[in-house]
Amino acid sequence: MIRDDNEAILAQAASWRDAGQSVALAHVIATWGSAPRPVGSLMAISASGAMAGSVSGGCVEGAVVMEAGKVLSDGEPRFLSFGISNEMAWEVGLACGGKLEVYVEPIQ
Amino acid sequence: MKARIFDALRAALADRRPVALVTDLGSGLQTLVDLDGRQMGDVALEDEFLPQVLDAIRENRSGIVEFYEGRFFINVHPPANRLLIVGAVHLAQALAPAARLAGLDVTVIDPRAAFATPERFPDTVLVTDWPDEALAALRPDARTAVVALTHDPKFDDPALTAALSTDAFYVGVLGGRKNQAARLERLRGQGVSEAQLARIHGPVGLDIGAVTPAEIAISILADIILALRGAKWKA
């Protein structure tokens, strides 16, 4: 697949599902400052931890994959906030100083 | 996201229909909405809320909106932008995959069967009609770029005339400055207006001193992206 847009990310999600894997979808729902990926950006995460697309420049994807694992095990969507000034709720932050909020849901 | 909403979203993208996925951030319930206001999903949107969603689709504006007590995330999924390449030439073999990488849907048009072959253009939609007929059928819209790369007025001129009669956001043609001047004269003679002629990017591409087909492909793509997005940091 030589494309990197939402259509291609959803196609990857579909092929994981066709292969019998459960898949979570992360949406960038809000950004502040110099967040690298705009609102509406998607990232798909398979049950085995593979990912397609991105929600940042690579800074927080690891944490999103971990949370996606929880979303897939209990079926409950989650909100994730990343940024340097959010009381260190997360140990990962954005070196660029941006902030973002991500919504992760299972495809079921 | 329910599997049937996921499938409907993918189907809309495949059919090039602009849609919005509306998620109630309180309940997680989702509704897929198209520009005609058709809805499918977990729940029907309130009548007063629907116009906001339709505006968001038209303006390609994703984001969180509040409606009464609720918080909703509207994720607008516009169809991919298109690039129609006239001329299945060597340069097009570099431009097609580069454009796909940038998220453009690529179609290559060339009536010469020896050029427009699947071996030369794997995974690319090929059309072997004459450029004016092909463009009439493909109907370029405001999300479509058209570039003519054949170096042959027999193909390039009708392609340009056809493209200029549409809302294509980018119309470009390969050729040096001397060729461009001669081309403008010919098109003027065919009654193309000055305003239309001013839309032509010729020589096509951003001037980065490109020499090889791959480099020229990147310069063309850079110019198309500039037309699409506008410059961010103006000098």
Residue B143 burial (CB count, 10 A): 18
- Which of B46, B77, B108 is the endpoint of a domain? B77
Any domain includes B62 = yes
Q: What residue type is assigned to position B19 of the chain?
A: V
Lookup: tokens for A29: 């729902």
Contacts of A8 in chain B (CB under 8 A): 103
- Alpha carbons A98 and B102: distance in angstroms, whole number: 24
pLDDT of residue A89: 47
pLDDT tens, position by position, B188-209: 999 999 999 999 999 999 999 9
**pLDDT for B141-193, tens place per residue?**
999 999 999 999 999 999 999 999 999 999 999 988 899 999 999 999 999 99
Find, among B211, B213, B176, B183, the residue nearest to B197 by Cα. Answer: B183
- Same domain membership, residue B119 and residue B48: no
Which of B51, B77, B103 marks a domain boundary? Answer: B77
Enclosing domain of residue B168: 82-229
The whole-number pLDDT of residue B100 equals: 93
For chain A, the domains span 6-107
With CA atoms as reference, the chain B residue closest to A26 would be B1
Cβ contact A7–B2 (<8 Å): no
Same domain, B116 and B210: yes
At position A85, the amino acid (one-letter code) is S
Mean local confidence (pLDDT), A23-50: 93
Using DSSP's 3-state secondary structure scheme, residue B65 falls into strand
Residue A2: the pLDDT is 47
Q: Is A36 on the interface with B (CB under 8 A)?
A: no
Q: What percentage of chain B exceeds 90 in pLDDT?
A: 91
B208 and B134 in a common domain = yes
The alpha carbon of B6 is separated from its chain's Cα centroid by a whole number of angstroms, namely 24
B47 and B112 share one domain: no
Q: Are residues B68 and B89 in the same domain?
A: no
Span B11-42, pLDDT tens digits: 999 888 999 999 999 999 999 999 999 999 99
Number of domain units in chain B = 2
Element (H, E) at A28: strand A23-32
Look up residue B23 and give its two tokens: 């998620």
Per-residue confidence at A42, pLDDT binned at 50, 70, 90?
very high
Please answer whether residues B75 and B56 qualify as being in contact, where contact means their C-beta atoms are separated by less than 8 angstroms. Answer: no
- Name the token pair of A30: 């809000």
Contact A5 B62 (CB under 8 A): no
Spatial separation of the C-alpha atoms in residues B19 and A33, rounded to whole Å: 27
A100 contacts on B by Cβ (under 8 Å): none
Within a 10 A sphere around the Cβ of B209, how many other Cβ atoms? 6
B10 CB neighbours in chain A (<8 A) are 7, 10-11, 14
Tell me, yes or no, whether B234 lies in a domain. Answer: no
* Mean local confidence (pLDDT), B102-130: 95
pLDDT at position A1: 41
Predicted confidence at residue A96, as pLDDT, reads 65
Q: In A, which residues are within 8 Å of B77 by CB distance?
A: 6, 40
What residue of B is the nearest CA neighbor of A10? B10
Q: Which residue has the tokens 């060339």?
A: B110
Which ipTM score applies to this complex?
A: 0.86
Task: Supply the pLDDT for residue B123.
Answer: 87
Are residues B133 and B196 both part of a single domain?
yes
Whether residues A39 and B10 touch (CB distance < 8 A) is answered with no
Residues of A in contact with B97 (CB under 8 A): 2
Distance in angstroms (rounded) separating the CA atoms of residues B112 and B86: 11
Q: Are residues B141 and B182 in the same domain?
A: yes
Q: Taking the C-alpha atoms of B34, B38, B43 and B47 in order, what is their torsion angle to the nearest 10 degrees?
A: 100
Task: Give the span between the Cα atoms of A80 and B224, in whole angstroms.
Answer: 35
List, in sequence order, every residue forming a beta bridge with A99; answer none if it has no partner.
Answer: A32
CA atoms within 13 A on the CB side of B81: 24
User: How many angstroms separate the CA of residue B227 from the nearest CA in chain A?
Assistant: 19
Cα–Cα distance for residue pair A39/A56, rounded to 1 Å: 11
**In terms of domains, do B114 and B177 share one?**
yes
Residues of B in contact with A78 (CB under 8 A): none
Query: pLDDT of A45-95, one tens digit each?
Result: 999 999 999 998 888 899 999 999 999 999 999 999 988 544 444 555 566
- B94 pLDDT above the threshold of 90: yes
pLDDT at B87 over 60: yes
B140 in the same domain as B66: no
Q: Write the pLDDT tens digit of every residue in B44-53.
A: 999 999 999 9
Query: Which chain B residues in 21-80 lie under 8 Å from chain A, judged by CB atoms?
Result: 23, 25, 28, 62-64, 73, 75-77, 80
Residues B56 and B94 in one domain: no
pLDDT digits (tens, 9 = 90+) for A4-19: 588 889 999 999 999 9
How many angstroms separate the CA of residue B118 from the nearest CA in chain A? Answer: 17
Mean pLDDT of chain B: 95
Chain A 44-73, CB below 8 Å of chain B: which residues? none
C-alpha distances (whole Å) from B106 to each of A103, B1, B127, B213 are 32, 30, 11, 17
Q: How far apart are CA B58 and CA B76, in angstroms?
A: 9
* Domain termination residue (choose one: B57, B77, B97): B77
Shared domain check, B205 and B164:
yes
Q: Do A3 and B23 touch (CB under 8 A)?
A: no
How far is B72 from B63, CA to CA, in rounded Å? 8
Helix (H) and strand (E) counts in chain B: 8, 11
Look at A107 and B6 and tell me if their CB atoms are within 8 Å. yes
pLDDT of residue B235: 55
Tell me how many residue pairs between chain A and chain B have CB atoms under 8 A apart. 61
Task: For residue B100, tell me if it sits in a domain.
Answer: yes
Do B144 and B217 have their domain in common?
A: yes
B73: nearest CB among A8, A27, A107: A27
Strand ranges (DSSP E) for chain B?
19-24, 30-34, 39-41, 63-67, 70-77, 82-86, 105-109, 125-127, 144-148, 170-173, 200-201
In a domain? residue B235: no
Sign of the Cα pseudo-torsion (B222, B224, B225, B226, in order): positive
Residue B98 in contact with residue B218, Cβ under 8 Å? yes
Three-state DSSP class for residue B49: coil
